[in-house]
């Protein structure tokens, strides 16, 4: 089963509008270096329009948001609705990032509601899961990831599961410089694929792209990319430099 690799840059709460445009233009100009890899840029919400305009209509580089609300409209001060993201040209939305889960109290139930809302609006959710260091050391990685995958994707039809991108991001590897070994990552990716088979079918699970995230850099991406169940990366820090982001994309799309 061939899955198109997907590398997404999560810019988090970084850059200003001019720098966001500059980085976007640099990535767009060099998209050919990514080979077969699909590229997604996820700027802060306030810069989505600037990044989308810089990419232009029909760009091979996709636009993604970092978060959204699950409701279509209403009295939710400070929130952004799924259709608003679609309106700005977003194709993807990161959901349940560990920073959202830990700092903003997002539970699997919240991530599940957002995942359903994203799909209903025509967005492709990038659903993040991953264990903390404490959980890994307690031998609870599989249990934690199982609960997060099943909880976040509960009630989705197989045709919806097929569209979702899952990002396995061990919390201890995010922004720490400590990347999971390719074997550690592959083991959890295989687990996730098995869980997807249980939620939908083996045929559907074989189509779902599962990204690894956690201190991915150009020099460790190739070893991750050769793993059979690692289909790309969700990249934080290294996505803020065009050279690094494209170097990672190249490793997956070679």
| Catalytic machinery residues | 97, 169
In the complex, the smallest distance separating the C-beta of residue 43 from ligand PEP, rounded to whole angstroms, is 13
Judged by CB under 6 A, does residue 232 bind ligand PEP?
no
Nearest CA among 64, 61, 68, 58 for reference residue 25: 61
Instruction: Return the residue nearest ligand PEP (CB atom).
Output: 236
Q: How many residues bind ligand PEP (CB under 6 A)?
A: 13
- Measured between alpha carbons, how far is 106 from 110 in angstroms, rounded to an integer? 6
For position 234 contacting ligand PEP by CB under 6 A, the verdict is yes
- 150 burial via Cβ count (<10 Å: 0-12, 13-18, 19+): middle
Dist CA 67 CA 44 (whole Å)? 9
Region binding ligand PEP by CB under 6 A among candidate stretches 25-33, 153-161, 168-176, 245-253: 168-176
Cβ contacts of 93 within 8 Å, gap of 6 or more: 64, 65, 66, 67, 68, 82, 85, 114, 118, 123, 124, 125, 126
Closest C-alpha to 88, from 60, 39, 55, 52? 52
Q: Which is nearer to ligand PEP, 38 or 200 (CB)?
A: 38
Binds ligand PEP (CB under 6 A): choice among 43, 44, 213, 247: 213
Judged by beta carbon, residue 170 or residue 253, the one nearer ligand PEP is 170
CB 48, CB 90: distance < 8 Å: yes
- φ, ψ of residue 137 in degrees (nearest 5): -65, -25
Instruction: Tell me whether residue 9 or residue 253 sits nearer to ligand PEP (CB atom).
Output: 9
Q: Does 126 bind ligand PEP (CB under 6 A)?
A: no
What is the smallest separation between the CB atom of 75 and ligand PEP, expressed in angstroms? 30
Q: Within the chain, where are the H helices? A: 17-29, 48-55, 82-87, 98-103, 108-121, 133-137, 141-152, 158-161, 182-199, 202-205, 218-225, 242-253
Quick count: other Cβ atoms within 10 Å of Cβ 2?
Answer: 8
Neighbours of 1 (CB within 10 A): 9
* Residue 214 Cβ vs ligand PEP, minimum distance, rounded to whole Å: 5
Contact with ligand PEP (CB under 6 A): which of 93, 111, 174, 246? Answer: 174
Q: Which of 237, 244, 248, 252 binds ligand PEP (CB under 6 A)?
A: 237
Q: In the bound complex, what is the minimum distance in angstroms from residue 119's beta carbon to ligand PEP? A: 21
Residue closer to ligand PEP (CB basis): 112 or 215: 215
Of 236, 246, 248, 253, the one binding ligand PEP by CB under 6 A: 236
Question: Going residue by residue from 6 to 35, which x/- string records binding to ligand PEP, judged by CB under 6 A?
Answer: ----x-------------------------
Question: Residues interacting with ligand PEP, by CB under 6 A?
Answer: 10, 169, 174-175, 213-216, 234-238
């Amino acid at each position: 089963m061939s899955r198109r690799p997907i590398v997404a840059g999560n810019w988090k709460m970084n850059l200003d509008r001019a720098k966001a445009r500059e980085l976007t233009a640099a990535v767009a100009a060099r998209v050919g270096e990514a080979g077969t890899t699909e590229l997604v840029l996820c700027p802060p919400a306030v810069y989505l329009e600037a990044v989308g305009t810089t990419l232009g209509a029909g760009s091979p580089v996709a636009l993604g948001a970092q978060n959204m609300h699950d409701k279509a409209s209403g009295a939710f001060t400070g929130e952004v609705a799924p259709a608003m993201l679609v309106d700005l040209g977003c194709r993807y939305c990161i959901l349940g990032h560990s920073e959202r889960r830990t700092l903003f109290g997002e539970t699997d139930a919240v991530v599940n509601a957002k995942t359903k809302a994203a799909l209903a609006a025509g967005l492709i959710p990038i659903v993040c899961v991953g264990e903390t260091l404490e959980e890994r050391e307690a031998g609870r990685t599989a249990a934690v990831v199982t609960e997060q995958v099943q909880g976040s994707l509960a009630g989705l039809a197989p045709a919806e599961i097929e569209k979702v991108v899952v990002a396995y991001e061990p919390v201890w590897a995010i922004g720490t410089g400590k990347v999971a070994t390719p074997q550690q990552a592959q083991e959890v990716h295989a687990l996730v694929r098995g869980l997807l088979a249980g939620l939908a079918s083996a045929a559907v699970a074989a189509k779902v792209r599962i990204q690894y995230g956690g201190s991915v850099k150009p020099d460790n991406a190739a070893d991750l990319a050769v793993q059979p169940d690692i289909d790309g990366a969700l990249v934080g820090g290294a996505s803020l430099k065009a050279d690094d982001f494209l170097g990672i994309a190249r490793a997956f799309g070679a």
